[in-house]
Chains A and B, each alone.
Chain A
């Protein structure tokens, strides 16, 4: 398989995630779309790693997965805190950082 096919798939996944981040209003789904973008980047990292026969790209992909897990942890904690305060769970309504 040519590496270009993997890169095309990763570009499509990244752009789908970017579209979701721009259009969806629910912060849960925005976080999911952010995961999609990170996964697209991961796929291209691993494809390049295979292309060069070098493990650095795989290490970077593992670090990206770690950062994604941290981001999910904080993001879901914020969503639970917003839900506790009875605020609307909608990124258009939550425009102020002030609690």
Chain B
């Protein structure tokens, strides 16, 4: 029974991996990777790693893949057109050479790994694994993993949590909106308040101060634009940045 399950899951794992590499649309690659991860979780279950299998399904196939799907949906439209542009270029010969070289290196690596893993090096240990008895705190259960993580591997646990925090902050810093890089459609959202505001104001606080300054100057040409006033708190970042971007030449 476990042999049948192993072969089904192994075929799923390998087919998912090949699908990730061969699909030309990144969205299909992500879906193939989800299938690959689910099959891999079955293999982990067969290896008595229940907690790792559950974490694989929940964290990897759930959360990380949703992140991938969002980014593919955000970037993918341009990706298609970019592929069209690139395929029109005469670069097919280089692509073929690269594929051939990549296949050669991957094949050499596979042969080397198989020799190393399945060769004579592993004869010292039993191939069928250590003895296993089911129980509430046995090998691979959440209690066992948690006990190890909080006693023997406490430092590793804390370091990985710090790493996650750093990665989250880094992701926000990398993907944030910078001044001068706004899209054209955001440049069109310029309100009349941006004209009245002093030059160089970019932050929200400065935007609010500029609004107060404009009111203090006398709101003669201002009253008919009052419906725009609530927008002023949110818009100055885009407006001020775009004004810096085109040098006030509009």
Interface size class of B (residues with CB under 8 A): 35 or more
Quick check: B106 and A67 within 8 Å, CB to CB? no
Quick check: B129 and A51 within 8 Å, CB to CB? yes
At the interface, is chain B mostly helix, strand, loop or mixed? helix
A2 to B166, CA, bound (A): 40
Which B residues are CB-close (under 8 A) to A61? Answer: 49, 52
Quick check: B47 and A29 within 8 Å, CB to CB? no
Which B residues are CB-close (under 8 A) to A70? Answer: 163-164, 166-167
- With contact pairs A13-B14, A80-B175, A83-B78 given, residues A39 and B40 touching in the complex (Cβ less than 8 Å): yes
- Of B114-122, B204-212, B223-231, B232-240, the segment with at least 4 beta carbons within 8 Å of chain A is B114-122
B148 CB–A CB distance under 8 Å: yes
The residue that B105 contacts in the complex, of A9, A22, A66, A81, with Cβ under 8 A, is A22
B-contact bits for A15-41, CB 8 A (1 contact / 0 none):
111111011111011011101100100
The residue that B74 contacts in the complex, of A39, A44, A63, A80, with Cβ under 8 A, is A80
A85 to B175, CA, bound (A): 11
Interface size class of A (residues with CB under 8 A): 35 or more
The residue that B75 contacts in the complex, of A11, A44, A80, with Cβ under 8 A, is A80
Chain A residues 35-87 with CB under 8 Å of chain B are 35-36, 39, 42-44, 46-47, 49-56, 58-59, 61-63, 65-74, 76-81, 83-85
Which B residues are CB-close (under 8 A) to A32? Answer: 20, 26, 29-30, 33, 68
Quick check: A16 and B106 within 8 Å, CB to CB? yes
The residue that A47 contacts in the complex, of B47, B109, B149, B167, with Cβ under 8 A, is B47
Q: A9-B13, A51-B125, A73-B67 are in contact. List 17 more A-B contacts (CB 8 A).
A: A3-B122, A4-B127, A11-B117, A12-B17, A28-B79, A32-B26, A36-B17, A36-B21, A39-B37, A50-B130, A58-B51, A62-B55, A70-B164, A74-B170, A77-B171, A77-B173, A80-B175
A-B contacts, 27 listed (Cβ < 8 Å): A3-B128, A4-B117, A5-B10, A9-B10, A10-B117, A12-B14, A19-B105, A20-B21, A36-B36, A39-B40, A43-B13, A43-B40, A43-B44, A52-B125, A53-B139, A59-B149, A59-B156, A62-B52, A62-B55, A65-B52, A65-B55, A69-B63, A72-B64, A79-B71, A81-B174, A83-B78, A89-B79
